[in-house]
Amino acid sequence: MMRIDAQGLLAGCEYIPSPNCDDRPAGAIELLVIHNISLPPGEFGGDGVHRLFTNTLDVNAHPYYPALAELKVSAHFFVRRDGRIIQFVPCLKRAWHAGESCWQGKSRCNDFSLGIELEGSDAVLFADAQYAALKHLTMALRAAYPIRGIAGHSDIAPQRKTDPGPYFDWARYLTGLCKT
């Protein structure tokens, strides 16, 4: 069973610290935001996401990367296609994943949410191992924090974002999870 420790780290998980985070304002962590990402777009298994989240992406390594040169982003967790989870930001810190966003009338979702990136895109199915890991991670996060909701990036920033995309099976993910 997965668990979150007192420092906001997933016990036994690979932790690669991202500089793209800061202190949270006072208040509860109450929202999980589900994203998808792949770098280069549509390609899986490389180190592009890790490099993006740690500001070490070589912008000359792929024609798409120069557009990301000034971007400073992160997420708390990244779930690989094989279900392996990498943590980039402790849960007690604010990761920079949601951008301009709003949930249930509250803006600045980064202030009160946890960002979970799934290795994927809007154009492919997610892997069985990802759904299993995401469910276990969700249960651990709910045991540690007063999570009141789960939303896609597209739900909190609908004019800007489409992820986790049409191939994310919300019913499959939420089946067996109480309180959505």
* 40-92 residue pLDDT tens: 999 999 999 999 999 999 999 999 999 999 999 999 999 999 999 999 999 99
Active-site residue (options: 43, 100, 117, 119): 117
Distance, in Å, from the CA atom of 51 to the CA atom of 86, rounded to the nearest integer, reads 13
Query: Model pTM?
Result: 0.97
Domain enclosing residue 134, as ranges: 14-36+75-174
CATH code, domain carrying 21:
3.40.80.10
Summarize pLDDT for 25-42 with one digit per residue, the tens. 999 999 999 999 999 999
Number of domains making up the chain? 1
Task: Give a yes or no: residue 44 inside a domain.
Answer: no
Q: Cβ contacts of residue 125 below 8 Å, gap of 6+? A: 167
Is 51 part of a structural domain of the chain? no
Task: Tell me whether residue 70 is in a domain.
Answer: no
Flag whether 103 is in a domain: yes
Q: Is 117 a catalytic residue?
A: yes
